[in-house]
Amino acid sequence: MSPSDESTNGSRCSSCISSDNDGNDFGKSDEFTCKQCKNSDSKSKSKSVNDSDKLRRIIVASVKGFTIGTGLKGGLAIFSIVARFARRRRSSPQSRKTGEFSNSEAIAMGIKETLRYGLFLGTFAGTFVSVDEAIAALAGDKRTAKWRALFAGLVAGPSMLLTGPNTQHTSLAVYILMRAAVLASRCGIKSKRFGTICKPLTWKHGDLFLMCLSSSQILSAYILKQESLPSSYKSFLNKQGGKDLSILQGVKDIATAQPFTNLRAIEKYYKSVGVDIKLDPTMKVPCTIIHGNESCVKHGVTFFLQAYKRALPVYVPVYLIPALIVHRQDLLKKQYSILGKGLLGTARSSLFLATYCSSAWAWTCLLFRTFETCNIPLVAIATFPTGLALAIEKKSRRIEISLYCLARAIESFFTCMTEAGYIRPPKSLRRADVVVFSVSTAIIMHCYAQERDVFRSKYLNVLDWVFGVPPPPPAPSCETT
């Protein structure tokens, strides 16, 4: 037998080979190939196609994850660099020399961070899809469907280390944990076993309560312990809070019952803005520190107008840039409708932020005046109702904002408790943020694979676009032989 005959027979079944040996033409003609050979050929072809589809899914998910990471971090880096240029133009030459980073160093750092976040999300997406496909191929798709995504999300979580081995991401990890908790609670509400326990989570105004709870910690830390807040968030609060750091230090001194350390600095600040005041070192209520010679009511009105002007630049890119990207095809046809919605959303969100900031000072003045004292518990109580300003926002945005603030409030709270000695972090667990992130992504990806209806459509569309989860295999057809 020739090598060609051996190779031909090697890919055919025993029925075809025996037919050849009997002198029949059954195995030599493609027209009369038996059904067993046809099924074998089709299975081998479909297997190769499936393998190429799986490899393509892994590559596409990695590329899309990298694109999202670089897009998000790159946009923030560009905004930060532009803001830095604007600040340096307004600053004096002497302050420019004493700056920590030059413009070229800031740009290089922005590019480096952008690439790191791109690698982080690209590796996360690629790792998840790779583990998901490997388990399905080795242990069966249907057999592992209930736990495969949970395990794959857990394995993909440590890709956060690619952003830097010494870079802590506590805020991000806690925020993802909050998202996972929301999804888990929605699954619990659907469950017959846990539905009764999770029923309080369906409270209509639960987002406002979370915002009030978060505001109590965040704004108290803003006044009393700013070092417990992330640096970027601290800068945001200092800008939108509208008060000089010397004023915050004066309120902190009187709230913690410490002797005043900077009354002259406060008086000097007010003099620089055209207000001449003389502060009493024996004061019990810090209203003159907060708003000088103005009354509490007048200060509330003037501060609100100033806060609204500060809030507008924050929300213009938040609404208009996504509108230009998402609705770019309809922009020429419905430009007035799209831009009108963007402007309305900008005005509404700016009103929320202005009300939030101005009400924070209004509530503190009210309670300080009512009880004629200022202390730490009173600061925490006064900043609690500030979160009610969230009711101005759209219902769909409330839960997002409240969870974002809750993540930062939790981080600040545990930082304060740790520094006070009430909590001792485990020495063996140096990267708790990676552990929390991995557990959270495991829960999220499990819900994505098994409980897709608990996701909002916009998040589900993004996940589908990145991970490209293949459709379920078709049911086997019943053929008569």
Tens digits of per-residue pLDDT, 448-480? 988 888 888 778 888 888 887 655 544 544 444
Confidence of residue 88 (pLDDT cuts 50, 70, 90): low
70 and 213 together in one domain:
no
- Check: CB of residue 167 under 8 Å from CB of residue 430: no
Cβ atoms within 10 A of the Cβ of 107, count?
15
64 and 211 together in one domain:
no
* Token pair recorded at residue 106: 């800031």
162 and 222 together in one domain:
no
206 and 328 together in one domain:
yes
196 and 147 together in one domain:
no
157 and 275 together in one domain:
no
Q: What is the mean pLDDT of residues 357-361?
A: 94
- Check: CB of residue 148 under 8 Å from CB of residue 188: no
- Check: CB of residue 240 under 8 Å from CB of residue 418: no
Q: Count of domains in the chain?
A: 2
388 and 281 together in one domain:
yes
Higher-pLDDT residue of 430 and 246 is 246
Confidence of residue 302 (pLDDT cuts 50, 70, 90): very high
Reference 217, options 204, 201, 202, 233; nearest CA is 233
pLDDT in tens, 360-375: 999 999 999 999 999 9
Average pLDDT, the chain: 80
Percent of the chain with pLDDT strictly greater than 70: 76
161 and 189 together in one domain:
no
Taking 90 as the threshold, does the pLDDT of residue 378 lie above it? yes
225 and 160 together in one domain:
no
Cβ atoms within 10 A of the Cβ of 385, count?
17
Least confident of 45-49, 218-222, 270-274: 45-49
- Token pair 């969230």 in the structure block, residue: 390
Question: What is the Cα–Cα distance from 117 to 115, expressed in whole angstroms?
Answer: 5
Query: At which of 376, 402, 425 does a domain end?
Result: 425
Confidence of residue 254 (pLDDT cuts 50, 70, 90): very high
Classify each residue of 138-149 as buried b or exposed e, where b means 16 or more C-beta atoms within 10 Å of its C-beta: eeeeeeeeeebb
Non-local CB neighbours of 438 within 8 Å, separated by 6+ positions: 153, 154, 156, 157, 158, 160
| Residue 396 phi, psi (nearest 5) | -70, -25
Q: What is the mean pLDDT of residues 299-320?
A: 89
Q: Does the residue 87 lie in any domain?
A: yes
Query: At which of 133, 167, 201 does a domain end?
Result: 167
At position 279, the amino acid (one-letter code) is L
371 and 248 together in one domain:
yes
Give the angle subtended at the CA of 54 by the CAs of 52 and 58, to the nearest 5°. 115
Taking 90 as the threshold, does the pLDDT of residue 124 lie above it? yes
Looking at residue 8, what is its pLDDT? 45
Q: What region, left, alpha or beta, does residue 258 occupy, with left being phi > 0 and alpha being psi -120 to 50 degrees?
A: beta
Torsion angle defined by CA atoms of residues 438, 443, 446 and 450, in that order, rounded to the nearest 10 degrees: -170
Residue 236 sits in which domain range? Answer: 184-425
Looking at residue 247, what is its pLDDT? 93
pLDDT in tens, 386-429: 999 999 999 888 888 988 898 889 889 988 888 888 877 666 66
52 and 102 together in one domain:
yes
